[in-house]
Amino acid sequence: AQSVTQLGSHVSVSEGALVLLRCNYSSSVPPYLFWYVQYPNQGLQLLLKYTSAATLVKGINGFEAEFKKSETSFHLTKPSAHMSDAAEYFCAVSVSNDYKLSFGAGTTVTVRA
Amino acid sequence: GAGVSQSPSNKVTEKGKDVELRCDPISGHTALYWYRQRLGQGLEFLIYFQGNSAPDKSGLPSDRFSAERTGESVSTLTIQRTQQEDSAVYLCASSLETSLYSYEQYFGPGTRLTVT
C-alpha cells in the first residue's frame, strides 16, 4: 500500500520568499504523484502532476515540483510567494493510475506581508 | 461552467440520527468519488462510481455508510445512526474518466458534518 507524508502542517513565509512544501511517499512501484491546493471555502484544485514523463513538473500559478526517486520525494516549490498563495496544499499518490488517491494530511501556508 | 457542488455546506446532527449529503457533479463527468477528511488528516477514499458499472465501495468505513448515484448525475452519501467519529468534511469529486494520468478529478467545496 502507498502512503504520503507531508512534513509540517503549517508553513509561514514572507511575501516574495521561497515557498517549499515537503512531500515524501512510500510505494513499492513507480507512483503517480499530485499536488492539490485548497483555497478557503473552495474545492481542491490540481496544481500539478507527475506521470513519469519528466522529473521536474511545472504547474499553475508558478509552482513546480521535482520527483526524486532516490529520496522518494516530491517537494513543491515556488520561488516568490504571493499573498494569494495562502491556502492548504495536499500531496497525493496513486500507484495504479486509477482513481484511488492517497492523500497527505495537508500543509497550510500563510503569507506575511 | 458550473463546478462540482455539494449540499449542505454545513450539517450539525445529533448522535444516532441519519444524515444525507448531496453531490452534483460536473455535467458529462462519468466518474464520481466521495472522500472523507478528518481534522488534521488527509483525504480518505470512500466510494467510486463509474457510469453504470458497479460502484467500488471498498473505502466505506462501516455498513452505516452507503451511497447512491442515478446514472451520471447526482449522488447522495447517507450515514445512518451517526457517531461522533463521523464528524469530518465529506468531499465529492468528478472526472471525465478514471485515468489519473489523463483526467483530473474536480472537487466540490465539501460538506462539514458535525455530530454532537
E-state strands within A1-113:
3-7, 10-14, 19-26, 32-38, 44-50, 56-58, 64-68, 73-78, 87-94, 102-103, 107-112
Q: CA A6, CA A25: separation in Å to the nearest integer?
A: 9
Contact A100 B40 (CB under 8 A): no
Q: Could B99 and A45 be called an inter-chain contact, meaning their C-beta atoms sit closer than 8 Å?
A: no
Q: What is the pLDDT of residues B47-70, one digit of tens each?
A: 999 888 889 999 999 999 999 998
The predicted-structure confidence for A73-87, as pLDDT tens digits, reads as follows 999 999 999 999 999
Contact A43 B42 (CB under 8 A): no
* A6 → chain B, closest CA residue: B42
Q: How confident is the model at residue A10 (pLDDT cuts 50, 70, 90)?
A: very high
Q: What percent of chain A has pLDDT over 90?
A: 65
User: Along the 116 residues of chain B, how does pLDDT read in single tens digits?
Assistant: 589 999 999 999 999 999 999 999 999 888 899 999 998 788 899 999 988 888 999 999 999 999 999 878 899 999 999 999 999 999 999 988 766 656 678 899 999 999 99
C-alpha cell at A80: 516568490
- Given an 8 Å threshold on Cβ–Cβ distance, is B100 in contact with A44? no
Contacts A–B by Cβ distance under 8 A: 66
Q: Per-residue pLDDT for A8 more than 60?
A: yes
pLDDT of residue B51: 83
Cα B73 from Cα A103, distance rounded (Å): 26
